[in-house]
Structure formats: structure tokens, C-alpha cells
Amino acid sequence: MLIRAATWRGTTADRLALEGRPRNPAKPERFANFGLEASGDERLTDWMVLHLRLAVWPSPVGAVLDAVETAVLAEPRAGHRNRGAVGN
């Protein structure tokens, strides 16, 4: 199932009961400067530790990363084949 980023954000925020808070209460209109209340930040961190994985690829010298990224993204379900990466 494909979940778009905006849907994922909304669904995850609802499930984890996350509430945005201005980082600078004196200027709450600056939406880019919002964070989470402390307990929500902890819930999100716990969820991320349980559900997210990170894989890295040390690029060879001279690799054109735009070309590599384009090729990877062209592969159907490329991300699903990386389940055997170190740390999974």
C-alpha cells in the first residue's frame, strides 16, 4: 500500500497524539519553527526506533549521485528489496 507523505504525517500524528508547539512562543506565526511538546517528541522517537531503518551506501569516487538516484528510483519497489541491509 502506498501512503503519501502528507497522509502519513497526519495519520502518524493522530495515532501518536502529536501536537505542534511554536519553538518561540513570542513569534508563533512562524510555522517553520514549530516542534513537539516533550512527551510527543519522546513518543515519536520511540516509534521511529521501532519502525524505521537506515541504510547507507558509500559512493565510489567520481560517482554522479544524480544519475545513481535516478536509476534507483526507476526500479520498481527498490526500497522493498533492501530489507537485508545491515541493521535489518
pLDDT tens-digit map of 54-84: 888 888 899 998 998 898 888 876 555 544 4
Residues 39 and 75 both lie in one domain: no
Residues 48 and 64 both lie in one domain: no
Residues 3 and 46 both lie in one domain: yes
Residues 48 and 65 both lie in one domain: no
Residues 58 and 47 both lie in one domain: no
In one letter, which amino acid is 62?
G
d(CA 6, CA 70): 23
Residue ranges making up the domain that contains 14: 1-52
Using only the alpha carbons of the chain, give its radius of gyration: 18
Residues 2 and 22 both lie in one domain: yes
Q: What is the reported pTM?
A: 0.53
Q: How many domains does the chain have?
A: 2
Closest CA to 37 of 64, 18, 55, 54: 18
Closest CA to 84 of 63, 60, 53, 62: 53
Residues 7 and 41 both lie in one domain: yes
Residues 47 and 57 both lie in one domain: no
pLDDT value at residue 69: 87
